[in-house]
Amino acid sequence: MHIEAVVIRKIPVREHDQMVVLYTKEMGKLTAIAKGSMRAHSTQALAIDEGNVIRCELVAGRSGPIMTGAQVVRAFSSAKGTVAGWAAAQFFLQVVSAAVYDEQPDAHLWACICDALHEMDTTPRAELLGAFRRQQAAVLEVLGYGASGEHTLQSAHAGRSSLDDRFEQIAQRSFSSLDLFYDALRLASLS
């Protein structure tokens, strides 16, 4: 089956394989094995970089789906080129990993995650905090936790907000990407 997916995270398994967590519009969050993706000559190794939107095929394996023929649709290289941009994008990937159940597709969440990654990729550094907060509110709304009126969207203050606390409460864990994001914004403001 051919799918389009966001690569949420990848974990090495066995000598040359990786377990890849994907979020798709049609199938929700799922895990597939990318056989041989850690070999030096692997053609799909670069495609399955975290945060990429990819097109691939999933085939049935004995212990779950096997990913083949992965190709990059969108790499978000501008966001990955800055610490603050990548930390912001990484936050949304961590949210999907921690707060979304497997195999529960949601077209609105798919669109929202793709929008968040796109905005972190295209927003100038000076406006990144405001874009980050808007996307946090949008993701909360799509996840069903509502964001309107209950959270502040202050973009002038580069510190933790009630949105950050709400996400950590929902996921029942802290997000390392938040600390990195705010530290990168502080350092950028000093230079």
Report pLDDT digits (tens) over 59-101: 999 989 999 999 999 999 999 999 999 999 999 999 999 999 9
Residue 148: which pLDDT band, with cuts at 50, 70 and 90?
low
Among 139-148, 153-162, 173-182, top mean pLDDT goes to: 173-182
Query: What is the DSSP code string of 2-55?
Result: EEEEEEEEEEEETTTEEEEEEEETTTEEEEEEETTTTSTT-SSTTTT-TT-EEE
Tokens of 89: 């994008």
Could you give the CA distance from residue 142 to residue 162 in angstroms, rounded to a whole number? Answer: 17
Could you give the CA distance from residue 177 to residue 93 in angstroms, rounded to a whole number? Answer: 10
Does residue 188 carry a pLDDT above 90?
A: no
Does residue 174 carry a pLDDT above 90?
A: yes
Catalogue the E-assigned strands of the chain.
2-13, 17-24, 28-34, 53-61, 64-74
State the pLDDT at residue 180.
95
Q: In the beta sheet, which residues pair with residue 12?
A: 18
Does residue 177 carry a pLDDT above 60?
A: yes
In this structure, the number of other CB atoms found within 10 A of the CB of residue 154 comes to: 14
Does residue 156 carry a pLDDT above 70?
A: no
State the pLDDT at residue 79.
96
Let me know how many helices (H) and strands (E) the chain has, helices first: 6, 5
Residue 105 near residue 113, CB atoms below 8 Å? no
Could you give the CA distance from residue 95 to residue 65 in angstroms, rounded to a whole number? Answer: 23
Residue 147: which pLDDT band, with cuts at 50, 70 and 90?
low
Does 150 or 93 have the greater pLDDT score? Answer: 93
Does residue 149 carry a pLDDT above 90?
A: no
Domains of the chain: 2-74 (2.40.50.140), 77-190 (no CATH)
State the pLDDT at residue 152.
47
State the pLDDT at residue 137.
95
> Burial code of 107-136, b = ≥16 C-beta within 10 A, e = fewer?
eebbebbbbbbbbbbebeeeebbebbbbbb
- Backbone phi, psi, residue 125, to 5°: -55, -40
- What number is the average pLDDT over the span 115-120? 98
